[in-house]
Amino acid sequence: MSEPHSESASPEAEPEPQTAEGGETRCGLIAIVGKPNVGKSTLMNALVGQKISITSRKAQTTRHRITGIRTEGDTQFVFVDTPGFQTRHNSALNKSLNKAVTGTIGDVDLILFVVEAGNFTLSDAKVLALFKPGIPALLVANKLDTVHRRSELAPWLKGMQERHDFAEFVPMSAKNPKDVARLLQVCRGYLPQQDWWYAPDELTDRSEKFLASETIREKLFRLTGDELPYSSTVVIDSFKEEKGKTVKRMVRIAATIVVERDGHKAMVIGKSGERLKRIGTEARQELEKLMDAKVFLEIWVKVRSGWADDANRLRSFGYE
């Protein structure tokens, strides 16, 4: 099994293998997969104990493979949140998102297959069809809090058992801390005994620059809702750390929101620039907490029609 990709790794940052008190350590890679909007990123953030992956009501909010790390007791859990797998749209962007899912599934110790409890659609079945034999998969029946007739869950689970040889069923809500703690314990049992890959206080292998673009994208998606079509993205033009006289860290970020059409640009900017201002304020406040720094954020909006179908543009915008 290969070690996960780390974009910020440097030889000095390489952690010394750690040994938990009393003996062996455990460590392993856990993929979180499922169709769009089932709660994968919400679950990953809850499992890590901090927000690493952005979430919104909009389907396919997650667009990258994102690693979240949790070290607890003798175990280091390395979670990989993946984009929601879907075959409805065939753009270059969607192909890239699906590749992030298929590339992850074959090389992990455990799969968390997230579905909405009591629900199984053709889109779920398409994700399940990607699973390889030999890698244990847990059925995470999420959003249990929205199921009113719990009695209907038993026959549903029985049906799910017939679809795949799941190692275990975990009905839960990603918004319930007790459920999340229980899932963490279940995951532990599937991780091999080996040295940890990251320092115990590391939470992600993604850079602050990456998290900045994701945070702006989350605010963009949340504050425009269904109004703004899915094909918009955020590019960080510059990310500079400056020495502050009064604060310990100061970060200056310039970003561009890329949209497909002039009408979308007007939508993002809003009446008298109000919406763009709100996107900027909410993103800045969240980034200041995340980076423990004073943040200056400048956001522009540009129209680039057809970007989501242009492989070169996708690459230049940071898609794998």
Ligand X SMILES: Nc1nc2c(ncn2[C@@H]2O[C@H](COP(=O)(O)OP(=O)(O)OP(=O)(O)O)[C@@H](O)[C@H]2O)c(=O)[nH]1
**Is 21 or 129 the residue whose CB approaches ligand X more closely?**
129
Q: Which residue has the tokens 């679809």?
A: 163
Position among 99, 175, 222, 278 found at the interface with ligand X (CB under 6 A)? 175
Q: Which residues are annotated as a binding site for GTP?
A: 34-41, 81-85, 142-145
Cβ closest to ligand X, residue 113 vs residue 196: 113
Q: Considering the rule CB under 6 A, would residue 40 count as an interface residue with ligand X?
A: yes
Question: According to the binding rule CB under 6 A, does residue 48 interact with ligand X?
Answer: no
* Residue 205 CB neighbour total at 10 angstroms: 21
Residue from 67, 173, 215, 256 touching ligand X (CB under 6 A): that is: 173
Of the candidate residues 66, 110, 174, 258, the single one contacting ligand X (CB under 6 A)? 174
116: closest CA among 154, 148, 149, 142?
Answer: 142
| Contact with ligand X (CB under 6 A) among 25, 37, 76, 224 | 37
Bind-site residues: 34-41, 81-85, 142-145
| Candidate ranges 35-43, 189-197, 257-265, 297-305; the one touching ligand X (CB under 6 A) | 35-43
Stretch in the footprint of ligand X (CB under 6 A) among 34-42, 148-156, 183-191, 225-233: 34-42
Q: Which stretch binds ligand X (CB under 6 A): 137-145, 232-240, 263-271, 281-289?
A: 137-145
In the bound state with ligand X, the residue whose beta carbon lies nearer, of 87 and 193, is 87
Q: By the 8 A CB rule, do 59 and 179 touch?
A: no
* Nearest residue (CB) to ligand X, 173 versus 256: 173
Q: Which residues are 234's β-sheet partners?
A: 257
Restricting to residues 66-105, name those near ligand X by CB under 6 A: 83-84
Residue 55 binding ligand X, by CB under 6 A: yes
Stretch that binds ligand X, among 57-65, 124-132, 133-141, 196-204 (CB under 6 A): 57-65
Using CB under 6 A, pick the residue from 28, 30, 33, 39 that binds ligand X.
39
The site for ligand X (CB under 6 A) is made up of 34, 36-42, 55-57, 59-62, 83-84, 142-143, 145-146, 173-175
